[in-house]
Structure 1
Amino acid sequence: MKLKIPAGDFGGYIFDLDGTLVDTMPLHYRAWNRAMQLAGLREELSEDLFYSLGGMPTVKVAAVFGKHYGLEVDVEKVFHQKEALFLELKSEMKLIEAVVQFARDAVKQGKPVSVASGGPRDIVRTTLELMGLAPLFPVVVTPEDVVHGKPAPDMFLLAAEKMGVPPERCLVFEDAQPGIQAAEAAGMLWVHVDSRIKS
């Protein structure tokens, strides 16, 4: 995987987690597909719809799926089922090496890095720990830390503040449209990581 890094004097870097640092999106899809079927879905969950919502807070995703398929869903129940199903697949997680190496190189150069993920805090921290990334990212922002998740800019602005870097000097790494919209709303340049292409 080749990353297209825009020119600029960047003071810090913000990374989405799923589909950006760790190749978990296919696992999240399988967990969502099963959770939605348990909630009454009688077909395979649309992969295109799933990927279009990457980075959005998990509870919101459950609501979007329910509305799309005309299902009355208990979003909290579906959310918890989905995360439990995802954790059952944790042994299949793999690093997206090109992005992780960029983060490691940035830290060696003395640049701060952070994670801003749409996943629940406990799942985000578990993923970082399982993949050996927790020590690399002292700053972790999740939807629990802000009023509005992606595509609003709140998570990226908070990550920038915690790193001590002005928003306009942050570069964001993202795999999905809601995250790219959030970066643009925060006044940050971004790098698109294609979560469907393996590193």
Structure 2
Amino acid sequence: MTSQPPYALIFDMDGVLVDNTPYQAKAFQLLFREHGLTTNARQLLKRLNGMPATNILKTVFRHPVPDKQLKEYASQREFLYRVLYWDKRREMPGLSEFLQAARAAGFNIGLGTGSPPETISYIIDHLDLRQYFDVVTGKDDVEKGKPHADTFSVVAQKLGVPPERCVVFEDALLGEQAAYKAKMRCIGVSSGLKPEQFQAPLRVIRDFRDITPEQVRELLDQNPTVPKPSKELAKRQYMHL
């Protein structure tokens, strides 16, 4: 009997490794205020979190904005976010212990985020988390960000693990859709959404004290089918940005 390849755990970063979504939203809100926009950033991120910041910004202006300008706005937002979050950087409760246990249990571990390298470093190197990841993939490593499959597909390819052996930890609807498009299953992290707001996760956790690597393996063994991406979500205009 041919042995199965190992399972792989693939983690989003924002809202999963760290509970930083409120600070991301505050940074967007300050930027919106600067430009006279009344969009509610918290509500916006409930729908669009996981997208590159330039794509999120593209949805809030009623007039076309040149890509160069959007990148400048995204840089402003990033600066605001870092200032707001500088002294607040903490890993999600139970994360290091979970990652250590997962490594000991034989899981491959990857990070798949829409953030650029300097933002990834701002989180994972400050918190000394890079040591736990076999692969780190960010914005510069893929052609299309979430909700497209690329982010997670590239992680799986680099890990050498087929998608059906991967599970993604995600806090965002678009990240969950990206997982299903990549033919992977998903575990939700309810840092920004209520459990019932996810489409079809194997399970929803508040943080990593709620689950063990052994329980993840059981969930994967017992639920081999990958959900199809939601047609309703796929129809929404922002899914095609």
Give TM class, smaller chain.
0.7 to 0.9
Alpha-carbon distance change, 99 to 65 in structure 1, aligned in 2, over 3 angstroms: farther
In structure 1, the residue matched to 2:9 is 13
Q: Which amino acid aligns with 2:188?
A: H
Following superposition, the deviation at residue 103 of structure 1 comes to 2.6
Structure 1: how far apart are the matches of 2:103 and 2:134?
A: 11
Which of 145, 149, 156 is equivalent to 1:160?
156
Secondary structure of the residue that 2:50 maps to in structure 1? coil
Question: For residue 177 of structure 1, what is the aligned residue in structure 2?
Answer: 173
Q: Deviations over 1:133-192 (max 9, x none)?
A: 121124111121111111111110100011111111001000011100010011101001
Q: Is the 1:11–1:111 contact (alpha carbons within 8 Å) kept by the matching residues of 2? A: yes
Q: Higher RCO, 1 or 2 (CA under 8 Å, sep at least 6)?
A: 1
Instruction: Name the residue aligned to 2:190.
Output: 194
Aligned pairs, how many?
A: 188
Are the counterparts in 2 of residues 150 and 179 from structure 1 also a CA contact under 8 Å? yes
List alignment gaps of at least 5 residues for structure 1: 1-8
Q: Which of the residues 121, 127, 131 maps onto 1:125?
A: 121
Q: Radius of gyration: which is bigger?
A: 2
Q: 2:49 aligns with which of 54, 63, 76?
A: 54
Equivalent pair of 2:48/2:174 in contact (CA under 8 Å): yes
Q: Deviations over 1:54-109 (max 9, x none)?
A: 1111211111222xxx2665311110001111111221122212454333311122
Alignment partner for residue 77 of structure 2, among 82, 89, 105? Answer: 82
Q: Which residue among 29, 36, 45 is the counterpart of 1:33?
A: 29
TM-score under structure 2 normalisation? 0.72
Q: Percent identity?
A: 32
Q: 1:150 to 1:196 in 2, by over 3 A?
A: closer
Runs of 4+ in structure 1 deviating by more than 2 angstroms, as ranges, are 43-46, 70-74, 98-104, 196-199
Give how far 1:11 is off: 1.2
Is the Cα–Cα contact under 8 Å of residues 10 and 171 in structure 1 kept in the other structure? Answer: no
- TM (norm. structure 1) is 0.86
Question: Who is 1:116 aligned against?
Answer: 112
Runs (5+) with no aligned partner, structure 2: 194-205, 208-241
